[in-house]
Structure 1
Amino acid sequence: MTAALWIASYVAAINLAAFLAFCWDKRQARRDSQRISESALLNIALFGGSIGAKIAQSRFHHKTHKQPFARQLNLIVVLQVAIISGAVFWALSHNTQP
């Protein structure tokens, strides 16, 4: 299995996990039952699940107005976009093949 396939599999799995975690937490909130901690939700996003987290946040209207959670999630997204953009720029600028 190539590195790109491993990375794609990881990204798909962590984003699915983030989406399902937000879905479950919203369900538990409606039932006034045991919830997933905000730090756990943010950590899933931080470790690559920010796309799934933002999709679920929008889809389920979950924690969209809760501050500082929403601000922290947005900061994670911005940082990940900056890191990925920097890595792509670096890779393209260091490509020595003709």
Structure 2
Amino acid sequence: MNSLTCLIGYIILVNIIGFALMGIDKRKARKNAFRIPEATLFSVAIIGGSLGSIIGMQLFRHKTAHLSFKIGMPVILLLQLLFGVLLIVVPINIDFI
């Protein structure tokens, strides 16, 4: 398995987790149960799950009134996309001895 396959698998997995966490937290909010901390939701987005988190926010209508989520999640996604484009335009070659 090459690195690109691993990276794509990781991105898919972390986005599924971000999506699921939004749904789980919404369900817990309705039941007044113990909630998933906002820091956890943002952490999953930062490590690559921003698209899944945004889709989960919209689908479950969760955290859409919070300005930090309304602006923060798209900003994280934008920065990740810019970083991805930067890696393609200016590839980094690392040679190990």
TM-score after normalising by structure 1: 0.86
Is 1:73 the counterpart of 2:83 in the alignment?
Answer: no
Name segments (4+ residues, structure 1) moved above 6 Å.
none
Paired residue for 2:94? none
Paired residue for 1:8? 8
Structure 2: stretches of 5+ with no match in the other structure: 92-97
Paired residue for 1:57? 57
Is 1:20 the counterpart of 2:16 in the alignment?
Answer: no
Percent of aligned pairs with the same residue?
30
Question: Offset at 1:10?
Answer: 0.6
How many residues matched? 92
Query: Would the aligned equivalents of 1:19 and 1:52 in 2 still touch at CA under 8 Å?
Result: yes
TM-score after normalising by structure 2: 0.87
Task: Measure, in 2, the Cα distance between the counterparts of 1:29 and 1:7.
Answer: 33
CA RMSD of aligned residues (A): 1.4
Task: Measure, in 1, the Cα distance between the counterparts of 2:68 and 2:55.
Answer: 18
